[in-house]
Amino acid sequence: MATAATKLLLIDRVPGINRVPNSYIRPQADRPNLTEVEASDASTIPLIDLQGLFGPNRDDIIRQIGKACQRDGFFQIKNHGIPEEVVQAIMNIAGEFFRLPESERLKNYSDDPSKSTRLSTSFNIKTEKVSNWRDFLRLHCYPLEEYMHEWPTNPPSFRKEVGEYCTRVRELALKLLEAISESLGLEREYISKNLGKHGQHMAMNYYPPCPQPELTYGLPGHTDQNLITILLQDEVPGLQVLRDGKWIAVNPIPNTFIVNIGDQMQVISNDKYKSILHRAVVNCDRERISIPTFYCPSPEALIGPAQGLIDHEHPAVYRSFTYEEYYHKFWNRGLRTECCLTCSRYPRLRIYSKLRSCSFCVDVEKMRLFHINKLSCQLSLTCSPPHPPPPRRPSSSLSLSESFFIAFTSKRKDSTKISPFS
C-alpha cells in the first residue's frame, strides 16, 4: 500500500499532514510574505461591464478595455453573456472530479506536459526543484471534437457540461479579442485572423488546504504564455497580481470572470499591453478551485508584433516565432518569475562611442540585416530610450563586421566599445 509520501497527487497526501513537506518549502527569500499583500476592490482591478458591447456603448467599453490592458494587464468582467447555470455546472463538475476515489482520478494521471489531456500536480513535477501546492486537470478544448474523446468520463456528465462551458467561453474570448484588436487601433478581426486555426486549453486547479501557507505557493509568480486567459474562481481568495512591485489580492466577485493579457498578446501589441506577473497562494482552512481558460494560437501560427503598430518610433521589440516554439520553451523551463518573452526579444547591443561620449542601444539583428544589405544605418533610427543627447548629429553611417565590431565611418578613427546588453 502506498504511503502518503509516495502518493502522486497532493489531494491524497494532505489528509493527516500538519506540516508542509520539505519538497514544498520555498527558500526564505522566495516566500509569499502574506502580511504585505494589499487588498483590492473593484477600482484596483477594473471591473468592466460588457452589457452593450454590441450597442451604442461599444466605443466606451473598448476604451475601458484598452486602458485596462495597457495599465493593469488584468481586468474583471460582468454581464459577460455566459449563463449562471453553465458556470455553476462546471464548478460543480470540477469539485466532483477532485472528490472521486483516487483510483478513478488516477486513470487520467500523467507527468508529461506534451499530453493534451492530463491530471497532474504542481507545475512540471519532472523538472522542478520545489513543488507547488496544487493538483490540476488540464484539457485541450478546441476544436472540441478533436479532444473531447480524451476527457474523463467520470463524473458521467463531465464531457457534456465541460463541452458546453468551453463553447460559451470561446464565444466570449472571440468577442474580447475583437474588442482588444479595436482598442489597439487594428481592424476588428486582426488578432483572430493571426492565430492560425486557434487553440483553447483549460485547467481545473485544485488547491487543498495547507497547514503552513506562508512557506509555499499554489502557483508561484508567473505570466501566462498564451494570448488571453479567462479565469473563473470559486469564492475562496487566492489569486494575487503584481502592481508597482506590490502583490494585490484579487478577491472573487460573484458572476464575474477575470481576464488577463498573456505573453502572445504582449508580443502582438509590441509591448503596449502587458502580460503581468500573478500567483496563487493557499490558505489553512479551505480548499480552492479555479478554472482558467487559456485562449491561444494554434501551434503552427506565426506570432509577431502587428505590422500596424510598428513604425520608426516604435520598432518591433520581438522577433517572430511559432507558438509551438514558445509553448515548449514555457513548459520546459519551469515556472519562473522572469517572463519567457525575454528570449524572444531582439538582442540588443549597447555601443559606447568615445568620440561622442555617449552610448546607443542597437538591435543586433537589424544591424546584421543592414550589413548584409550593405545599407547604412542611421544611428538616430536605431538608438532606443533613453536617447543620448547627440553632441554632434552623426552624419556618418554605421558599418558592421561579422564579429560585431563597430566603427563610425568618419574621417577620424573612432574606437567603439561593444558589450552585449540583453
Which residues bind to ligand OGA, rule: CB under 6 A? 203, 205, 219, 224, 233, 238-239, 278, 280, 290, 292
User: Residue 280's binding partner, choosing from Ni ion, ligand OGA, none, with beta-carbon cut-off 5 to 8 A by kind?
Assistant: ligand OGA
Closest contact distance (angstroms) between CB of 81 and ligand OGA is: 22
Please identify, using beta-carbon distances, which residue of 190 and 294 lies nearer to ligand OGA: 294
Residue type, 74: F
Closest CA to 223 of 340, 327, 306: 340
3-state secondary structure of 344: helix
Residue 118 DSSP label:
E
Closer Cβ to ligand OGA, 213 or 238, answer by number:
238
Length of the chain: 422
Burial label, 403 (beta-carbon count in 10 A; 0-12, 13-18, 19+): exposed
Q: How far apart are CA 104 and CA 98, in angstroms?
A: 10
To ligand OGA, the closest distance from the beta carbon of 138 in angstroms equals 9
Smallest CA-to-CA distance from 111 within 127, 126, 130 is with 126
233 binds, among ligand OGA, Ni ion, none (CB under 5 to 8 A by kind): ligand OGA
Residue 310 CA to residue 314 CA, distance in Å, equals 5
Q: Name the minimum Å distance from CB 97 to ligand OGA.
A: 16
Q: Of the two residues 240 and 269, which places its CB atom closer to ligand OGA in the complex?
A: 240
Which among 385, 407, 408 is positioned nearest to 395, based on CA atoms?
408
Residue nearest ligand OGA, CB atom distance:
290
Residue 305 contact partner, candidates Ni ion, ligand OGA, none, CB within 5 to 8 A by sort of partner: none
Applying CB under 5 A, does 224 fall inside the site for Ni ion? Answer: yes
Least separation in angstroms between residue 208's CB and ligand OGA is: 13
Q: Tell the smallest beta-carbon distance from residue 299 to ligand OGA (Å).
A: 19
CB of 280 to Ni ion, least distance (A): 8
| Residue 112: its H or E element | none
Nearer of residues 280 and 406 to Ni ion, judged by Cβ: 280
Q: Is 72 in the site for Ni ion (CB under 5 A)?
A: no
The reply to whether 363 sits near Ni ion by the rule CB under 5 A is no
In sequence order, what are the beta bridge partners of 321? 303
Work out how close the CB of 136 gets to ligand OGA at its nearest, in angstroms, rounded to a whole number.
Answer: 7
Which residue of the chain is nearest Ni ion when measured via CB? Answer: 224
Would you say 151 and 159 are in contact if contact means Cβ atoms under 8 Å apart?
yes
Nearer to Ni ion, 241 or 379 (CB): 241
178 binds, among Ni ion, ligand OGA, none (CB under 5 to 8 A by kind): none
Strand partners, 349: 362, 420
Distances in Å between the alpha carbon of 397 and those of 48, 238, 374, 375, 388? 50, 55, 11, 9, 17
- Minimal distance, residue 190 CB to Ni ion, in Å: 25
287 lies in the site for Ni ion, by CB under 5 A: no
239 binds, among Ni ion, ligand OGA, none (CB under 5 to 8 A by kind): ligand OGA
Rounded distance between C-alpha atoms, residue 91 and residue 351, angstroms: 55
Helix, coil or strand: residue 313: coil
Q: Which is nearer to Ni ion, 233 or 269 (CB)?
A: 233
Contact 178, 228 (CB under 8 A): no
Q: Which residue has the cell 474580447?
A: 176
Q: Which stretch binds Ni ion (CB under 5 A): 34-42, 218-226, 332-340, 375-383?
A: 218-226
Residue 77 or 239: which CB sits closer to ligand OGA?
239
Nearer to ligand OGA, 289 or 398 (CB): 289
Residue with cell 574621417: 411
Determine the 3-state secondary structure of 167 from DSSP: helix
CB of 203 to Ni ion, least distance (A): 9
**Which residue number, 170 or 278, has a Cβ lying nearer to ligand OGA?**
278
- What gap in Å lies between CA 245 and CA 347, rounded to an integer? 26
**β pairing state of 135-142 and 199-207:** antiparallel
Q: Which does 203 bind (CB under 5 to 8 A by kind): Ni ion, ligand OGA, none?
A: ligand OGA
Handedness of CA 226, 96, 117, 221 (dihedral sign): positive
Residues binding Ni ion (CB under 5 A): 224
